[in-house]
């Protein structure tokens, strides 16, 4: 994956979750796992899956809230 600065990053999908009948993926940088993850919507077309950036502010707010709740629940288990 290439970031907005043109830097190549090797990303790893670490988590997927659903919200309002959409599936989302959380990716982290393989070489910098402590950095915040990136969230993308997963869309399927002709049996192929694609990662799509979330551009709608309302969708982004909803998805990040869901992910933060999931992450907090996971952290409380540790």
Question: Looking at residue 78, what is its pLDDT?
Answer: 64
Question: Looking at residue 32, what is its pLDDT?
Answer: 85
Question: Looking at residue 59, what is its pLDDT?
Answer: 96
Question: Looking at residue 7, what is its pLDDT?
Answer: 81
Mean per-residue pLDDT for 63-70? 91
Give φ, ψ of 24 to 5 degrees: -125, 150
Which tens digits make up the pLDDT trace of 7-63? 888 999 999 999 999 999 999 998 887 888 899 999 999 999 999 999 999 999 999
Q: Which residues contact 23 (CB under 8 A, 6 or more apart)?
A: 16, 17, 41, 42
């Amino acid at each position: 994956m290439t970031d907005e600065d043109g830097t190549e990053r090797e990303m790893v999908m670490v988590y997927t979750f659903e919200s309002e009948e959409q599936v989302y993926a959380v990716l982290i940088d393989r070489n910098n796992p402590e950095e915040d993850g990136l969230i993308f919507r997963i869309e399927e077309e002709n049996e192929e899956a694609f990662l799509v950036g979330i551009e709608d502010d309302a969708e982004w707010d909803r998805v990040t809230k869901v992910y933060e709740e999931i992450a907090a629940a996971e952290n409380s288990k540790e």
